Amino acid sequence: MQRKTFAEAECPIALSLERVGEWWSMLIMRDALQGLRRFDEFSRSLEIAPNMLTRRLKSLVEAGLLERQAYSQRPLRYEYVPTPRGEDFRVVLMALVAWGNRHYVQGEESVQLVERESGRPVHRIMAEISEGRCVPLDHCTVQAGPAASAPMRLRLGTSRPAQDA
């Protein structure tokens, strides 16, 4: 049975899940963004089968989240470095940390979301709007954008017409 693909989906969540929706991929990105780079480092950290790790790293490279760079010529060895797109994925992982701590951790947290400079705990993740003002994410919603199809507009409950450029 062939897995459904979201590669051509209109929804940005579906498009993103096509690239990183498999849980090994999320954990590899977590480790890469925490500084792990080499195959053996990922393997030790995740206790993942080598063939699965190879497939997941390849898919993350193809999705543009990691870049494969040679660090040794003899023998030829590679490391996997987050790209700017991969660095942007950090916010997704931070949101999962905050959400997981809020809804699934009982008692003290084993992983905390903190401000890098001060080390103070962060309890609310903010979004920045065009004027540079921060808005709590729970004050945000989604709506159909200018390129939304009629079915997407219907699904999002809006019939806002596309704006002319």
pLDDT of residue 153: 83
Q: φ, ψ for residue 108 (rounded to 5)? A: -75, 145
Distance CA 53, CA 43 (A): 7
Residues 86-106: tens digit of each pLDDT: 999 998 999 888 888 888 988
Nearest residue to 100 via CA among 20, 27, 42? 27
Q: φ, ψ for residue 13 (rounded to 5)? A: -65, -45
pLDDT, greater one: 67 or 17: 67
Residues 20-44: tens digit of each pLDDT: 878 899 999 999 999 999 999 999 9
- Domains of the chain from N-terminus onward: 12-83 (1.10.10.10), 89-139 (1.10.10.10)
User: What is the helix (H) or strand (E) element at residue 79, kind and residue range?
Assistant: strand 76-82
**Inter-CA distances, 54 with 40, 90, 139, Å:** 11, 22, 40
